[in-house]
């Protein structure tokens, strides 16, 4: 990981300050390889294959399987085999976060092959040894190979996808469904999250309800306040972090007794997109809704309300953009930010195209000037090439103002699978 950067104009490319992206073939997918034990099943008499396949799956243990290691295009990779037992399926599709999304309009390379005479389907890809990624398996009637050509088509893949029953690592994705988590043999997962089972949600968390000053109506905020709290983390997409990830428990497991956390509900996806990408709206939400309620609760508990130098705004995707938008435009509210995979290309009033690499509104605001007392952590996944291309502009804007930016790349995509580790890493980086 990189040190803080201020006053430097070095270029940023995926893999420069961290891991490298997955090597891809001409079809845009990870390169494939044959898993030798599964290939050997085809050499058996057809009538013996089903029993042999069942015995192999029982003996091989949890999936995905890890096989041979090899350096490909300078990236240390491992042969990673995904397996499914689907007796009724006509097609089985592997949806690995960001990797399959990249080929959504030509998904043939992500289809599992069936071992003739068995219920076993399989696919092996060369993947980086340090990759952390969520994935799902979508089985049933065949999807069109260009299923991702429309938003509705790609949503249908999300809807049909299910976690891998042979993988004990489970994560709830933002659409509310369980995903499995791939953790490469050289991957780093923060110890507070490095567990197969879901967290138990034992830590005390209080629920506040505020009147939304931007959209109207009630908005929930979940508050975790350790007795020794010295700083406040305001975290967007609070329902996911509280209900599905049990962040309060993870902070307890990490031994963090200094961070009070206000997890802010984003309500619906539409309302999320109406507020978070717009600095004026998200700042109004904080100034006139979230912060007064949280400060009142902190004082009631005998803890002083932290000032902007002790207030961290954090989120991922639109939430990461919101965090940057607040510290860039309203350092009187917060001067610390954790922006994970922020939507740096967002431009108000323009529909986002996947091939749009031009920096967006918040980057341009930062170029006007950033308060030199601002400090932020900006993270992105190695599989987010377009996002990585926008990082240099934000980095240059911070450097020109003397503000501090900590840029970090993680081996993964647009994914809570590594955002969990990224958040705790970032909290360790910023002043306690």
The number of beta carbons lying within 10 Å of the beta carbon of residue 250 is 22
Q: What angle do CA 138, 49, 141 make, to 5 degrees?
A: 25
The secondary structure of 366-409 as a DSSP string is HHH---TT-EEEEEEETT-HHHHHHHHHHHHHHHHHT-EEEEEE
Cα–Cα distance measured from residue 154 to residue 175, given in angstroms and rounded to the nearest whole number: 13
What pLDDT score does 204 carry? 83
Torsion of CA 347, 353, 354, 355, to 10 degrees: -90
Q: Is domain 36-183 annotated with CATH 1.10.240.10? A: no
pLDDT 10s digits, 138-163: 999 999 999 999 999 999 999 999 99
Confidence label for 213 from pLDDT (cuts 50, 70 and 90): very high
What pLDDT score does 176 carry? 61
What pLDDT score does 276 carry? 97
Contact status, residue 285 vs residue 291, Cβ threshold 8 Å:
no
Rg of the chain over Cα atoms, rounded to whole angstroms, equals 23
- Asked if pLDDT for residue 10 goes beyond 50, the answer is no
pLDDT 10s digits, 17-52: 567 899 999 999 999 999 999 999 999 999 999 999
- Asked if pLDDT for residue 322 goes beyond 80, the answer is yes
Percent of the chain with pLDDT over 90: 82
Residue with tokens 């932290």: 306
Q: Is domain 206-429 annotated with CATH 3.40.50.1820? A: yes
- Asked if pLDDT for residue 199 goes beyond 70, the answer is no
CA distances from 418 to 55, 161, 238 (A): 33, 20, 17
Strands 75-85 and 120-128: antiparallel
What pLDDT score does 25 carry? 95
For the chain, the domains span 36-183, 206-429
What is the 3 state secondary structure string of 174-218?
Answer: CCCCEEEEEECCCCCCCCCCCCCCCCCCCCCCEEEEEECCCCCCE
What pLDDT score does 352 carry? 65
- Asked if pLDDT for residue 5 goes beyond 50, the answer is no
Contact status, residue 221 vs residue 210, Cβ threshold 8 Å:
yes
**Model-level pTM?**
0.91
Cα–Cα distance measured from residue 320 to residue 343, given in angstroms and rounded to the nearest whole number: 7
Confidence label for 172 from pLDDT (cuts 50, 70 and 90): confident
What pLDDT score does 202 carry? 58
Mean per-residue pLDDT, 49-77: 94
pLDDT 10s digits, 221-259: 999 999 889 999 999 999 999 988 999 999 999 999 999
Contact status, residue 30 vs residue 19, Cβ threshold 8 Å:
no
339 by Cβ neighbours in 10 Å (0-12 / 13-18 / 19+) ranks as: buried
Confidence label for 8 from pLDDT (cuts 50, 70 and 90): very low
Mean per-residue pLDDT, 68-77: 94
Cα–Cα distance measured from residue 331 to residue 319, given in angstroms and rounded to the nearest whole number: 17
Residue with tokens 């690499």: 357
Q: Report the mean per-residue pLDDT for the chain.
A: 91
Percent of the chain with pLDDT over 70: 92
pLDDT 10s digits, 331-376: 999 999 999 999 999 999 877 666 677 889 999 999 999 999 999 9
Cα–Cα distance measured from residue 209 to residue 289, given in angstroms and rounded to the nearest whole number: 10
Nearest of 310, 212, 194, 326 to residue 260 by alpha carbon: 310
pLDDT 10s digits, 81-137: 999 999 999 999 999 999 999 999 999 999 999 999 999 999 999 999 999 999 999
What pLDDT score does 203 carry? 62
Mean per-residue pLDDT, 178-195: 90
């Amino acid at each position: 990981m990189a040190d803080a950067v201020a006053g430097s104009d070095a270029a940023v490319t995926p893999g420069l300050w961290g891991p490298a992206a997955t090597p891809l073939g001409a079809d845009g997918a990870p390169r494939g390889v044959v898993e030798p034990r599964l290939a050997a099943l085809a050499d058996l008499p057809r009538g013996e294959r089903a029993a042999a396949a069942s015995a192999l799956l029982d003996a091989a243990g949890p999936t995905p399987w890890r096989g041979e290691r090899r350096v490909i295009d300078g990236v240390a990779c491992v042969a990673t085999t995904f397996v499914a037992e689907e007796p009724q399926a006509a097609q089985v599709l592997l949806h690995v976060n960001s990797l399959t999304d990249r080929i959504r309009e030509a998904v043939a390379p992500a289809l599992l092959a069936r071992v003739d005479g068995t219920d076993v389907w399989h696919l092996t890809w060369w993947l980086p040894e340090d990759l952390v990624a969520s994935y799902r398996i979508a089985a049933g009637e065949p999807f069109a190979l260009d299923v991702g050509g429309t938003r509705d088509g790609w949503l249908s893949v999300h809807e049909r996808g299910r976690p891998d029953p042979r993988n004990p690592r489970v994560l709830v994705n933002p659409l509310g469904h369980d995903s499995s988590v791939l953790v490469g043999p050289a991957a780093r997962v923060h110890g507070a999250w490095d567990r197969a089972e879901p967290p138990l949600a034992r830590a005390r968390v209080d629920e506040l309800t505020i009147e939304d000053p931007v959209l109207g109506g009630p908005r929930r905020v979940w508050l975790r306040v350790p007795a020794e709290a010295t700083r406040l983390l305001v975290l967007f997409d609070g329902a996911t972090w509280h209900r599905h990830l049990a962040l309060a428990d993870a902070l307890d497991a990490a031994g963090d007794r200094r961070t009070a956390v206000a997890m802010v509900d984003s309500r619906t996806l539409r309302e999320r997109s109406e507020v978070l990408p717009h600095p004026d709206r998200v700042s109004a939400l904080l100034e006139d809704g979230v912060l007064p309620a949280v400060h009142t609760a902190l004082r009631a508990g005998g803890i002083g309300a932290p000032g902007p130098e002790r207030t961290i705004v954090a989120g991922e995707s639109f939430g990461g953009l919101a965090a940057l938008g607040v510290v860039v435009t309203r350092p009187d509210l917060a001067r610390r930010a954790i922006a994970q995979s922020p939507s740096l290309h967002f431009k108000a009033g323009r529909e986002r195209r996947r091939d749009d690499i031009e920096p967006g509104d918040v980057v341009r605001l930062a170029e006007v000037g950033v308060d030199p007392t601002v400090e932020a952590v900006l993270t992105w996944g190695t599989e987010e090439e377009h996002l990585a291309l926008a990082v240099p502009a934000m980095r240059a804007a911070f450097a020109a103002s003397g503000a501090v930016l900590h840029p970090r790349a993680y081996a993964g995509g647009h994914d809570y699978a590594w955002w969990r580790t990224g958040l705790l890493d970032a909290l360790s980086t910023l002043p306690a």
